[in-house]
Homo-oligomer: A and B are copies of this chain.
Amino acid sequence: MSDHPEASVTPVEAYEPPYYVAVFTTVRAQEQSGYSETNARMEELVKDIPGYLGMDHAQTPGGLGITVGYFRDADSLTEWRTNAEHRAAQKRGQTEWYQSYTLHVAKVERSHGFTRP
């Protein structure tokens, strides 16, 4: 459960729309060799993408992972998707780490935050 050591209980805030979310849901395969290192590297690498706003991640005990990446615009998401090192990680994900995954890329139209006074 600690594959994402940087995850905290402070979720990404509600930015002023429009911005983009990439919802990435995963079911892990048995083979996880190298996953943690690559994942940590990706979490660092994405921070260099202009327009990257943040990321939330959680996982069920049953093995369903949800990662939501937040980006200022479609261009910043494209830059991340086509990053060479990220591409290599995506390929390893398909052949080694994931049994299945789903990606939903969406433009935020409305957002709202609540914090108890």
| Chain B neighbourhood of A26, CB < 8 A | 11
Q: A50-72 vs B: 1/0 string, CB under 8 Å?
A: 00000011111111111010100
- The distance from the CB of A6 to the nearest CB of chain B, in whole angstroms, is 11
| Chain B neighbourhood of A57, CB < 8 A | 60, 66
* Contact indicator A9/B101 (Cβ below 8 Å): no
Q: How many residues of A contact B (CB 8 A)?
A: 51
Give Cα A20–Cα B107 distance, bound, in whole angstroms. Answer: 9
Task: Please give the count of copies of this chain that the complex contains.
Answer: 2
Decide if A105 is an interface residue (CB 8 Å cutoff). Answer: yes
- Of the candidates B12, B25, B102, B116, which one forms a contact with A29 in the assembled complex, judged by CB atoms under 8 Å apart? B116
> A: which residues have CB within 8 A of B?
1, 4, 7-14, 20-21, 23, 25-27, 29, 56-66, 68, 70, 74, 94, 98-116
* Contact indicator A68/B23 (Cβ below 8 Å): yes
| Chain B residue nearest in CB terms to A62 | B9
